Structure 1
Amino acid sequence: MDNNYKDPQYGFSPLTQSYVPPQAKTSGKAITSLVLGIISLITLPLGGIIVLGIIGFFSGIVAIVFSSLSFKEIKRVQVRGRGMAIAGLVCGIVATTVNVLVFVIFFVIGFMNAMNNV
């Protein structure tokens, strides 16, 4: 028999540092676009109140502008947030379009009532 035989060691290897790539930042303009788009949709049913209708209309337009700016930033700087920018753009377009249609409908109804009263 060989007296120099050693049992295998099943210990852990020393810890090594693993590389974790840094995550890309999220575009602040995309977040702003999404928040303003949601605000414009929330104020949409309350458009009968003139102040909230104006806030919803302008927040929808600003959401569209910020989403456009965020698309350029995402392409140029390689940041995340494309999905938020798309959602902000869609919310802004829908809310602005509906606000304009409601305004036109109310304007036409008011004009027709004024013409009937003359």
Structure 2
Amino acid sequence: MDNNYKDPQYGFSPPNQSYVPAQAKTSGKAITSLILGIVSLITLPLGGAIIFLGTIGFFSGIVAIVLSSLAFKEIKRVQVRGRGMAIAGLVCGIVATALNVFAFVISFVIGFMSAMNNA
């Protein structure tokens, strides 16, 4: 009789410890730039009726542009996530700021022309 023979083992093997890589953190600057870009777009149509909201929209658009630029640098340097949010914040900030400046120039020209006609 062969003493080295072992019956095959049927059943479950012990669970293997699998390695799950940690998720990279998302850039806080990218999240903030996206939020401020959206706020600047939301306050844009209300800026004509309420000057305060137009001012908030203008400055939040500028801050969104600056923060998205800083987020791009952070993403490249530290290897964090959030590039898409930084791009969206940049686009929203640029569009809202440009439209706010355009609306200001148009309202200034209309006010100037009406003042010239009344003089």
Normalising by structure 1, report the TM-score.
Answer: 0.93
Could you tell me which residue of structure 1 aligns to residue 71 of structure 2?
Answer: 70
Could you tell me which residue of structure 1 aligns to residue 11 of structure 2?
Answer: 11
- Structure 2: give runs of 5+ residues left out of the alignment: none
Q: Distance in 1 between matches of 2:6 and 2:93?
A: 76
Distance 1:79-1:5 versus aligned 2 partners, 3 A rule:
closer
What code does the residue aligned with 2:42 have?
Answer: I
Could you tell me which residue of structure 2 aligns to residue 113 of structure 1?
Answer: 114
Q: Distance in 2 between matches of 1:87 and 1:99?
A: 18
Instruction: Confirm whether residue 102 of structure 1 aligns to residue 103 of structure 2.
Output: yes
The number of equivalent residue pairs is: 114
Q: Distance in 2 between matches of 1:92 and 1:104?
A: 18
Residues 78-107 of structure 1 show CA distances to partners (whole Å, capped at 9, x for unaligned) of 000000000000000000000000000000
- Structure 1: give runs of 5+ residues left out of the alignment: none
- Matches of residues 1-118 of structure 1 in structure 2 within 5 Å? 6=7, 8-48=8-48, 49-118=50-119
Distance 1:116-1:45 versus aligned 2 partners, 3 A rule:
same
What code does the residue aligned with 2:76 have?
Answer: K
Residue 113 of structure 1 and its aligned partner are, at CA, apart by 0.1
What code does the residue aligned with 2:51 have?
Answer: I
Give the alignment's Cα RMSD to 1 decimal.
1.3
Residue 5 of structure 1 and its aligned partner are, at CA, apart by 9.0
Normalising by structure 2, report the TM-score.
Answer: 0.92
Distance 1:5-1:25 versus aligned 2 partners, 3 A rule:
closer
What code does the residue aligned with 1:56 have?
Answer: G
Residue 10 of structure 1 and its aligned partner are, at CA, apart by 2.9
Q: Distance in 2 between matches of 1:5 and 1:86?
A: 63
Residues 52-77 of structure 1 show CA distances to partners (whole Å, capped at 9, x for unaligned) of 00000000000000000000000000
